[in-house]
Structure 1
Amino acid sequence: MCHPFACSVVAQRPGHVYNLRMAAKTPPTSPVEMIAALAALGEMRVWSVLITIFGDAVAARGGQVSAMTLQTILDRLRFKPEAMRVAIHRLVKDGWISRDKQGRQSYYKLSKEGRAEFLPATQRIYAEAPALAGPWQLAILPPMPEKQRGEAKKRYSDAGYLAVSPTCFIAPAGTPAPKDDQALNLDAPLAQVPNWVRETLGPPHLQIEYQQLERMLERLSRTKVTQGDEAAALRVIMIHQWRRVLLRHADLPAELLPATWRGEACRALVLQEHKRLSALADPWLDNEIGSGTAALAC
């Protein structure tokens, strides 16, 4: 199983496809259609959606949720019970969540290891603005064989640097260089950043995904929602698709990104729609899970 916070785009599940070209002509008008449209933006692995549910619906309510409530939300997203059972089994086996059996009902919560991975990502997902560091510094590698260059790239990546070319890396000023650093380190003003750097840090495929997400979020804002369970499901799938794109790149200032980058426009819409949907979703979730705001228990 892939890492729950590592997302990729692959083919949709059979029976859960929404034609984006058709969407341009017939925008979704109901919550059910909107759920299908959002699902079509990128892959919906059940185990990854479950992690989103824990983050968006469970964490603020004591951290524990019943299997029945999880399935109720997944039903709205058109996942079958057997798919949830398989995903839950894998998440428990891999140590991401723990299970507590109470009579005939099972309850689940993120494990200590799961929370360690989950909390930093949550801070980025729900932030009102990206946590931008600056000024920036460049590290330029000297000539070296390809194998050594690959090893150096991993060391710089692990140290918090972003690659803008095979031999050039960028990081917030003051970021410690990796051990055995042989690079030329320079301060990097952002006044004149070449387009090739912007396109490297904000690649075309992510630009397209943000543009598609923005269009769907605008349609979501025009979708009338009246039921709490539908609002909760819409909120989960919206956050899931936002997370799927957001966690595949670093938080960077506009000066380092292409002019067509729509990440911050999507952030504004996500926060707007999260607030709107919460008016219906939160009372329903409080009734299903509880209204406690205690920290996640160990």
Structure 2
Amino acid sequence: MAVSAISRRIESFSQQSRIKAGSLITSLLGDVVVPRGGRIWLGSLIDLLEPMGLNERLVRTTVFRLVRDGWLESKPLGRRTDYLLSPTGSKRIEKAAKSIYASSHPNWDRRWRLIMVVGDLSAKDRDRLRKALIWQGFGVLGGNCFVHPSADLTVAFDGLVRDGLGDLLKKLKPLMAAGPGALSSAASDVDMVNAAWDLDQLAQMYRDFLSRYQPILSQCQTAGDTVTAQQAFVARVLLIHDYRRLLLRDPMLPDVLQPMNWPGQQARLLCGELYRRLLPASEQFLDRHYQLADGSTPVFIDVLQERFREADPLPLTG
């Protein structure tokens, strides 16, 4: 049953030994809070996250940290407090949404984005930098060069600051480089890809995503009316959360540089199809449980119907 498929995913997530609360709340902010005005009462946020295994103390601590880091602002109203996305947080969410909800990759301008280390770094700082940029989808060339086909370098540097690496920026140089063009003796773009990324590992992560959510989609296609509104809401948040974290690791290679039978596109199609099926019931749940500090429920702005709009529906599977 669809109920059991969704329940298994919810249980599996909530029983993780360590849930990254900040990442999950960021996913919820972008997918749920933004379409309702970018503002939510803290008590409502706590209630919405409880089925995913986050307790009140963890939510409060994480929200305070997001305020400290510039993602959120607080607006007290009597004994209650609303939290809303700051201008900086809104820009960050908007940029992430362009990758999450797009139906396909944008055309490539055939220019590579590079971040060069131009100063001495300790082994610890070099490792921290490498991990942070890999999580932004950058590939590694040697020990002093990070490469990406389309990243916004300003956003990449902002991400390093957000990760506590702002003190390293003075030792980093952002650059743009064209592909080999007519220089036939130069390394090709494909050579660059093969040297910079472990695409086998990323492909396996995509296959794991497909095996995790295909049963839910299959059952929604055949027995969607058995899914409760709350289950649809939780499944939707976890779907976008898992997909967003995958995209953080994905260099978003243009089609001409992707390996044959790349599972990333199949994951994008599945995510779009399942999202569209979960959206109506999940919004019904939010109509009943999403509140601001004054007790009102902000209206859902139907922009999400436009997301994944060009993705073709997947075939019915048994």
Of 267, 291, 297, the residue aligned with 2:299 is: 291
Q: Write the mapping of 1:183-202 to structure 2, written as runs, cut at 5 A.
A: 186-187=180-181, 197-198=193-194, 200-201=196-197
Question: Are residues 1:212 and 2:208 paired?
Answer: yes
**Over aligned residues, Cα RMSD in angstroms?**
4.1
Instruction: Flag the 1:268–1:294 CA change in 2: closer, same or farther, 3 A.
Output: closer
User: Which residue of 57, 65, 68 corresponds with 1:93?
Assistant: 68
Deviations 1:34-59 (A, max 9, x none): 22345689963112111111111110
What runs of 5+ residues in structure 1 fail to find an aligned partner?
Answer: 1-26
Q: Which residue does the alignment assign to 2:244?
A: 243
Whether contact under 8 Å (2:232, 2:279) holds in the other structure is: yes
Gaps of 5+ in 2: 154-171, 291-297, 304-318
Partner of 1:226: 227
Q: Which residue identity does 2:79 align to in structure 1?
A: R
- Cα deviation per residue 1:100-132 (whole Å; 9 max; x = unaligned)? 122232211111111122210111111111223
Instruction: Provide the residue aligned with 2:50 in structure 1.
Output: 75
| Contact residue 201 and residue 256 of structure 1 kept, 8 A | no
TM value normalised by structure 2: 0.65
Q: State the partner residue of 2:100.
A: 125
The 2-side partners of 1:112 and 1:233 are apart by 27
TM-score (norm 1): 0.69
CA offsets 1:73-112 (integer angstroms, 9 cap, x no match): 2111011111111111111122211111222322111111
Give the aligned partner of residue 51 of structure 1. 26
Structure 1 CA distance, aligned partners of 2:53 and 2:199? 32
Structure 1: which amino acid aligns with 2:259? P
- AA at the equivalent of 1:101: P
Matched AA of 1:293: I
1:115 matched to 2:90: yes
Structure 1 residues 77 and 186, CA gap change in structure 2 (3 angstroms): same
What count of residue pairs does the alignment treat as equivalent? Answer: 252
- Note closer, same or farther for the CA distance 1:90–1:169 as it changes in structure 2 (3 Å cut): closer
Q: 1:59 to 1:243 in 2, by over 3 A?
A: same
Mean alpha-carbon deviation: is it higher for 285-294 or for 48-57?
285-294
2:181 match: secondary structure: strand
Residue 171 (structure 1) shift: 4.3
Confirm or deny that 1:62 pairs with 2:37. Answer: yes
Contact 1:60 1:294 survives alignment (8 Å): yes
Q: Is the 8 A contact 1:52 1:240 kept in 2?
A: yes
Q: What SS does structure 2 have at the residue aligned with 1:75?
A: helix
Q: Which residue of 1 aligns with 2:59?
A: 84
Residues of 1 paired with 2:192 and 2:72: CA distance?
42
SS in 1 for 2:84: strand
Structure 1 residues 165 and 118: CA distance shift in structure 2, 3 A: same
**Which structure shows the higher helix fraction?**
2
**Local SS of the residue matching 1:222:** helix
% same residue: 22
Following the alignment from structure 2 to structure 1, what is the Cα–Cα distance between the partners of residues 149 and 99?
18
